[in-house]
Structure 1
Amino acid sequence: MRPVRIAVAASALCLAALTGCTHTGGGPSPSPSASAPSASAPGNARTRIVIKDFVYRPATLTVRPGTKITVVNEDSAPHTVTATGAGKPFDTGNLAQGQSAVITAPTKPGSYPYICSVHPYMKGTLTVR
């Protein structure tokens, strides 16, 4: 019996090594706040804005010039991410539930406020540094 146990243990170790190991920390997952936190993205990284419950998550995002930003609509209503400043440097157009679009952060550093053109009370800010 002993060689079988060793073989089973060795197989389990090999499987664990091949598949990796994750740890979730055991605690509850934090729930997103209604105020939608801010976030930063490393240079030229692809980052995301998720629209859910009529809120941009994050509502304030700091990125480097030219960063690709994926916008995902997880609401049942259509939404946009439309810059409100001079020249409106980005606009996703209408995104229905489950749709996504990619926008590119402006190349000029600055603060770029945006709204949902369907629901103008939804507001966010993209900061380019």
Structure 2
Amino acid sequence: MRPLLRAATLLLAAGPVLTGCVSSFMVPGPEETGSTAAPSPEPSSPAPSPTPFAGTVAMRDFSFEPADLTVRPGTVVTVTNTGTTPHTLTAQDGTFDTGPVAPGATATVTAPSQPGASSYLCAFHHFMRGTLTVS
């Protein structure tokens, strides 16, 4: 029992020394610096206003790529003719139309402001079809 008592006494004596060593490596807390207030939060900046996603469609080899595109209301869609013959991207309901786009040329259309789906085609090649979905 005597060795146990000696070990306990040694630990009690060394305790303050060890505590001082450990606390010198720790960051002081509010009780050590005298500060009791919680840190003030960073000022928040207003959320950025959403900008419409700029969609792109390629007219290539008598097809639209992608044929089906989903965008936000009012998005400007860039249409590029990468083929060898003129094409159009024309909404079947008449809401948008690039007009003829020559090979190598680019045109834009603006998506409708209301959500929904608009079927489109090439006015020269009616088998070229796609859907522009506004959501």
Q: Fold-level match, TM-score > 0.5?
A: yes
The equivalent residue for 1:56 is 64
Structure 1 segments (4+ residues) deviating >4 Å? none
In structure 1, stretches of 5+ residues that fail to align are: 1-41
Question: Relative to 1, partners in 2 of residues 1:127 and 1:72: Cα closer, same or farther, differing over 3 Å?
Answer: same
Q: Does 1:104 align with 2:110?
A: yes
State the AA in 2 paired with 1:125: T
Secondary structure, counterpart of 2:59 in structure 1: strand
Question: Relative to 1, partners in 2 of residues 1:52 and 1:119: Cα closer, same or farther, differing over 3 Å?
Answer: same
Alignment of 1:1-129 (within 5 A): 44-85=52-93, 88-129=94-135
Secondary structure, counterpart of 1:106 in structure 2: coil
In structure 2, stretches of 5+ residues that fail to align are: 1-49
Residues 28-81 of structure 1, C-alpha deviation per residue, up to 9 Å, x if partnerless? Answer: xxxxxxxxxxxxxx9602120001111100000001100010000001110000
Higher Cα Rg, which structure: 2
TM-score between the two structures when normalised by the length of structure 2: 0.62
Secondary structure, counterpart of 2:100 in structure 1: coil
Residues 62-120 of structure 1, C-alpha deviation per residue, up to 9 Å, x if partnerless? Answer: 011000100000011100000002xx110000001001101100001111000000001
State the AA in 2 paired with 1:116: C
What is the alpha-carbon root mean square deviation over aligned residues?
Answer: 1.2
Count how many residue pairs are aligned between Structure 1 and Structure 2: 86
Q: Where is the helix percentage greater, Structure 1 or Structure 2?
A: 2
TM-score between the two structures when normalised by the length of structure 1: 0.64
Query: In 1, distance between residues paired with 2:87 and 2:76?
Result: 19
Query: In 2, distance between residues paired with 1:49 and 1:43?
Result: 19
